[in-house]
Structure formats: structure tokens, C-alpha cells
Amino acid sequence: MSSRGYVTKEQVCQILGWDATDTVLGAEIDALIPLAEDMVDQYCHTRFDREEGVTRTFLSNGTEILTLGYFLDNLTSVELIDYDGNSWGFLDKVMPQPSEPRYGKYRWLLRYDGETFKDNFTVKVTGDWGWTNDTRPSQISAATAFVVKMIFDIRNIDEFTTMESGSGRMIQTSKTVDIYIPFISRALLGDFKNSRWFG
């Protein structure tokens, strides 16, 4: 399992006050970071890593607003697909919203041509998503570091379900992961959490 870059080993040590020169501890942190990132994603019902030129599909609800559930950076195209998989064409009068997005990314799209995103149609949105490692909000890094500490502290609890083959590291499924997110991480992630998975 590879890291998405939400936090580095050095950042974890700095945030938590751990010894960055301890190579054994460093190897442990490196093993825990991808698990912590997965837990952060599951808790927030989104992703924070950078994906360029990626098409995501969403189900529309018959309004002029399409909730993305991911953090859109640059919008390339929006295509409307009907129930039978036929394209209704690309939409050109679509604006990412809000116009001054919190943390520099957009969370939904607005049709400003007087039309709606037709009810239960598939909308294909292509663009750049998320943040690069050096532009990601510091709250994401800090929250991930505290999740690393939580996993480190309780990694031997039997009730966890392993998801990393061969490592013995433990993590719960998305239905129960919320109860294992430390309170401080919840507070840091509050502005980034969706009510459900999208896409």
C-alpha cells in the first residue's frame, strides 16, 4: 500500500513530538501512514490526493446544482448521459461553485443556462481534483498524523480487521471507521467531510 502524501514521516514526528532520528520508529510510521490516509478518506467520504485529467461520474437530482463530493481544481468538461448510456452532449454553461471556494477548491457545479441536470442522469465531470503534496491544507496533514498516533497506540487490539496484507496492521471498514478517528482529527477534518460517498 503506497502513501497518498497527506503527511510525511517527518511531519508526523514534528506534529507528535516523536524522535525523527529513530529509524525503527520511522519504519513503523511509514507503514502506518497509508492506513491513516485510508481512514481519513473513509471518514471524510472523499479523497485529498491530486488526480489530473480524471473523469468522475455523478448521479444528478434534477436541479441546477450538481454536488461533486470531491475537490475540483480545474474543470475540463461536463457530459450528460441518459438512462440508456447515450450522450446528451457536453455542457458549456456550467460554473464551478462556490465562486470563492474554501481552501481553493470547488465542491459543486451550477448550470447557469436555465436548465437542470436532468433527474437521475449520469454526469461525467472531467478535470483536475485534489491537491498536490505541497498545496494540501495543513489540517489534512495534522489530522492524518493524529490518526497515525491512534493506530500506533491501539494497533494490537483484536477487534480491528486487517486490510494490509502481511503487515498485521489493522483498520476498520468504512461503516465503523468513524469511531476510531481521534476527536482532534474530527475537528480538523470538519470542513472537509461529506455526508456520503459520491461518484
Q: What is the pLDDT of residues 68-124, one digit of tens each?
A: 989 999 999 999 999 899 999 999 999 999 877 777 899 999 999 999 999 889 999
Which residue type does 23 have? T
Same domain, 69 and 118: yes
β pairing state of 65-81 and 87-90: antiparallel
pLDDT attached to residue 177: 66
Output b/e per residue, 97-122; b: 16+ Cβ within 10 A. Answer: beeeeeeebbbbbbbeeeeebbeebb
Question: Looking at the structure, do residues 100 and 139 belong to the same domain, yes or no?
Answer: no
Q: Is 79 a member of any domain?
A: yes
In a domain, 199, yes or no: no
d(CA 197, CA 199) in angstroms, rounded, equals 7
Asked whether residue 1 is assigned to any structural domain, the reply reads: no
